[in-house]
Structures are given as C-alpha cells and as structure tokens.
Structure 1
Amino acid sequence: MRALPPWLTEPLWDQFAALLPERPVYHPDHPLGCHRRRIGDRIIFDKMLQLLRFGCSYEAIADATCSATTIRSRRDEWIRLGVLARLKQLAQESYDRIVGLVLDQIAVDGAITKAPGGGEAAGRSPVDRGKQGLKRSGMTDGYGIPLGRVLAGANRHDSPLLAPTLDRLESLGPLPDTITVHLDAGYDSDTTRALLSERGLHGRIAHKGEKAPIQASRRWHVERTHTWQNAFHRLARCYERHVTVIDAFFDLADTIITVRSLIRRSWTTHRWDERPNRRP
C-alpha cells in the first residue's frame, strides 16, 4: 500500500539515497564468499514511510521482502549515521533557498499525544485520565515549516520547555535582526518575558483570562503544523520507547511536510522534469 504519492516519494528517496554510504550486496566476511543478499535500502525506506503514515507495528508491515527485525536494524543504522536528521536539514535549506523561511516570525506551542507504550519521554497525561502521553514543544517559521522540537512527558508544562525549544534556532544559521515569537496564554509570565529579552527576541503573548481568536496572531501556523504532524499516525499514537527513534520519525515527518510545502509553493513559479501535472 502506497503511503505517499509518487511526486513526493521520489524526490525524498533520491536525496535520501544520496546520503547513504555504499554497502556490498553480500557480506564480505562470509567464509564461503556468499550469503543472502542485503535487503535493498529502497524497500526499507518505503516500509519506514508506511510505518510513519499508518502507525502500524513492525510485524504488521513485514512481508516476504523484509522482516520486522531487518526494518528495526536498518532504522537503527540510519539513526547512528544521522541520515534522517541530515535529510531534514537539506529539506530546510532547499526550502529556504527556493521559497524562503519566514524567520522573523516564529511560533512555539506544545501538543500532547498518546504514548500507550510509555518510554523514555512519556509521562502521565493531564488530558487522558493519567494515561501515558508525550508532549512535544514545537517551533515553526511564519508559514508553518517545522524548525525543531523538544520531547517531554505529557505532564510537563509548556513554559519550561520554551528555552530548549528556542535553542533549536542556533542550527539555522544567520537569523534576522528582529524576531517576534508568538505564544499562547500558557506562556504569559514574567519569566517568559525575561527569557525572550535575554535572547533579544520580541514576544507576542496572549494574556490569561482574555478570550481572543487564534487568528488574532500568527500563532495559528504552529497549530496547523501540529495537525500536519498528527496526520502521521505513528506520531499521534506513539509506541516507540526510545527518544532517538521518536526523533528520527519526527525528522522524517518534518522532511515530508517541508518538501510537500516546497513543491506546492513552487509549482506555479518553477519547472522541473518530475513536476506534477496538477498543483498538489
């Protein structure tokens, strides 16, 4: 079953394959000089997309082409090599070069999702009868392109996660002289304002007790990005137990969101060989 349309899968795979190191088809240390052929990276990559999109288990997605153990081992290999994180970085750089990241307007907010399997980053969820949950403090640019995240237990408040989330800005290179950070009323405190002032950032924070539509500020971009991320069922209901694996799936999801936005926004201004016939 196809997890993504070809106009999105193919450019993702082309760039991903370019980041992979060369591997022999057969294991060179086998005493007889032969062994089972190495499972193709493209097969595992497609399985990873299916895992991310549909949220199924490794055993359910395994078939005659590869086993669940092979998917897990290749996933861990790619995490050690940093391929998924590098893929996300390249997607951001391409988007910034072609369309342009709106870095003078930043939005930060937290989102709580289910984590039935518990794990290193899980905690008691205050909105799900104390069941295990995961909170992500996400940051986006002024359009909604994901820039980074911090994972924590669902029982953590948004405000203490703001500083480590803003630290993700350091990896983006040169930044505008003036940056406005849009926050909801959960961040309305003197501590938050002092934190923003120390970093030379301007804050636009909703006030507690005052009702205001989300459209009144540019905070709705991060809310939309949380919705985009929750469309990947492995993130909305996370059974992974290790933070490194969860981050890897988030990197893959953020890459898909960035490349999809890049193709949609450049469809009317650029031409390329694999350009979709209609605007996606």
Structure 2
Amino acid sequence: MPVLPSWLTEPLREQFAALLPMRPEFHPGHPLGCHRRRIGDRVVFDKLLQLLRFGCSYEAIADATCSATTLRNRHDEWIRLDVFAQFKRIALESYDRIVGLVLDRIAVDGCITKAPGGGEVAGRSPVDRGKQGLKRSGMTDGYGIPLGRVLAGANRHDSPPLAATLDLLDDLRPLPDDITVHLDAGYDSDKTRALLAERGLDGRIAHKGEKAPVQASDRWHVERTHAWQNAFQRLARCHEHHATVINAFFDLADTVITVRSLIHRTWTTHRWDNRPNRHP
C-alpha cells in the first residue's frame, strides 16, 4: 500500500522537484569522471515521505536504492537551501489563491508529543511521567490549515510561546483588519489579553473553571489539525535532535495537509488532469 495516494504524491513530487537546483549525475570534480551516481531526488523524497508517515529509523527505511547516510545528507542539504519552507509557502499561497485562507479567525493551541531521544527543544513531559517530550504551539486559520508552529520543551506552559507564534502572521501579510484569536483556558490571563491588544487582535479565550465543549468556539479547528499532524508518526514520536530537522518534517507534513485539503475542497468546483475519480 502506498504511503499516500498517487493523486496527492504526484503534485507534491513535481512541485518539490521544481524547487531543487540542477545537479549532475556524476560529481564534476572526480578526475576520472567515474564517481558513483547521485541518488535521484525523487527516490530520496519518497523515502522522506515514508519516514514522515511511518516514523521508523533511517536505517529501517534504507535499502539498495538509498542509504541512511544519503537520506540524512540530502535532507540537510535541502534544509540549508530552505526548500522545505519554500515548499510549504507555495502550498499556502496556492490554497489562498484558489480557496482562500480564513485569516479573520485563527486558533492557537499547544500539543505535547513524545521525544524519546531528547534534543534541542525537548523537555520533561508533565503528562508522561517526566519522560522527554516536545511541545508545539500551533496556529491554524479558521478552517484548520496549518500556518506555522513554535517548538518548545514539553515542560513549557502554553502561554509563553504565544507571542512567537503570533509573530508568524507577519509572513502572511496582507492581513484582515479584524482578526479574532481563539484560545483555550490555558491562555486565560491578563498577560495574554495585553499581548493580543498590543498586536491589535481580538481574543476569544475560554475561562478557567468553566466547562465548555471545544465546539463552543472555532478552537476545535486547531485540535483537528493537531490530530492530522499526529497521524504522521515522525511528528507524534520525534527522534530528531535538531530543531531545524524537526521543523523541516513539520513543513513537509503541513504541505501534505494543505494540498490534501485543497484537492478535497476543490474537487467539486474545479477540473484538472489527474483529478481523483472519487471525492478524496
């Protein structure tokens, strides 16, 4: 069974390949011109999708077509070239152009996942007997399209990363005049309200001690997006040590989610080559 359906992987491959620089098949500096062939970018990209989806180790996913060392070296090269961030940015711009991002309503919330190997942004998890964990402060639009995230240790409270999370809105300008930020009771404080007021944002914050279903506001969209992201086992159980690599895998997952939502929402209104025969 494929990692993702072909109607989703093919546009992802084509756009990702368009962002990569041209590389010769053989290393030009070899005196005899007989250096080993460079592993194809498509092979590496497919392996990274498998890593993202299944969460296994590099060694477990490596085979005769691509070694674990090549996977690590290649994604490090692509991170230096800012390819993953560009990939996500193009997906967001395409979604905004065709469907439209709902930026007058955004939601922010934290999510704790496991980080067994520790790392730069790991910390003792208060919900997992003090084991190493990772917290992400995620932000979505009014439909649940992931707009960005800030990584922190699992022992951090939700509210401190809020300022850095809201700063990610600067990359999405122009913004609507009136923006409402939906937050849960963990953000119910005067400091949070002052932070929103400084940025000219309205806040709809759940009150501490008052039980209310998540459906009572638009906050449920970010909860659903966390579930979408945690379906990628590489994010739900993170073994990476470096924040740049973790963010790269998050950018790749967010791109998959955005493109999948784009295809899902335009299936009944648009026609294109390789359109799925059935509603995705």
Query: Same fold by TM (over 0.5)?
Result: yes
Give the AA of the match of 1:33. G
Give the equivalent residue in structure 2 for 1:142: 142
**Aligned-pair CA distance for 1:169:** 0.2
2:108 and 2:158 map into 1 onto residues whose CA distance is 9
Q: Which residue of 2 aligns with 1:10?
A: 10
| Identity between Structure 1 and Structure 2 (%) | 83
Question: For residue 241 of structure 1, what is the aligned residue in structure 2?
Answer: 241
Query: How far is the alpha carbon of 1:2 from its aligned partner?
Result: 2.1
1:265 is aligned to 265
Partner Cα distance (1:223, 1:115) in 2: 20
> Corresponding residue for 1:102?
102
The answer to whether residue 198 in structure 2 is matched with residue 198 in structure 1 is yes
1:10 CA displacement: 0.2
What's 1:37 paired with? Answer: 37
CA contact (8 A) 1:88 1:251 kept: yes
Instruction: Tell me which amino acid in the other structure corresponds to 1:196.
Output: L
What is the letter of the counterpart of residue 7 of structure 2?
Answer: W
Alignment partners' CA distance in 2, 1:108 and 1:260 = 21
Query: In the alignment, which residue of structure 1 is the partner of 2:153?
Result: 153
Residue 279 of structure 1 is matched in structure 2 by: 279
Aligned twin of 1:46: 46
- Does structure 2 retain, via aligned residues, the 8 Å contact 1:52–1:232? yes
Q: Does 1:228 align with 2:216?
A: no
Q: Which runs of 5+ in 2 are unaligned?
A: none
C-alpha contact (below 8 Å) 1:109/1:158 kept by paired residues? yes
Contact 1:2 1:50 (C-alpha < 8 Å) held by counterparts = no
Q: Distance in 1 between matches of 2:163 and 2:224?
A: 22
1:93 equivalent to 2:93? Answer yes
Question: What is the CA-CA distance between 1:35 and the residue it aligns to?
Answer: 1.3
Is residue 124–residue 131 contact of structure 1 (8 Å, CA) maintained in 2?
yes
Alignment of 1:60 with 2:96, yes or no, is: no
Paired with 1:92 and 1:170, the residues of 2 have a C-alpha distance of 14
Deviation at 1:215, TM superposition (A): 0.4
Report the TM-score, using the length of structure 1 for normalisation: 0.99
Which consecutive aligned stretches of 4+ in structure 1 deviate over 3 angstroms post-superposition? none
Aligned to 1:27: 27
- Give the aligned residue type for 2:213: P
Between Structure 1 and Structure 2, how many residues are aligned? 280
Shift of 1:231: 0.1
3-state SS, counterpart of residue 160 of structure 1: coil
Q: Distance in 1 between matches of 2:225 and 2:91?
A: 16
User: CA separation in 1, counterparts of 2:274 and 2:173?
Assistant: 30
The one-letter amino acid of 1:199's match is R
Looking at structure 1, the residues matched to 66 and 272 of structure 2 have their Cα atoms a distance apart, in angstroms, of 34
The aligned residue for residue 122 of structure 1 is 122
Separation of aligned partners in 1, 2:76 and 2:247: 12
Tell me the amino acid that sits aligned with residue 141 of structure 2: D
The question of whether the paired residues in 2 share the 8 Å contact of 1:179 and 1:202 is answered with yes
Separation in 2, partners of 1:64, 1:2: 19
In the alignment, does 2:62 pair up with 1:70?
A: no
Match of 1:172 in 2: 172
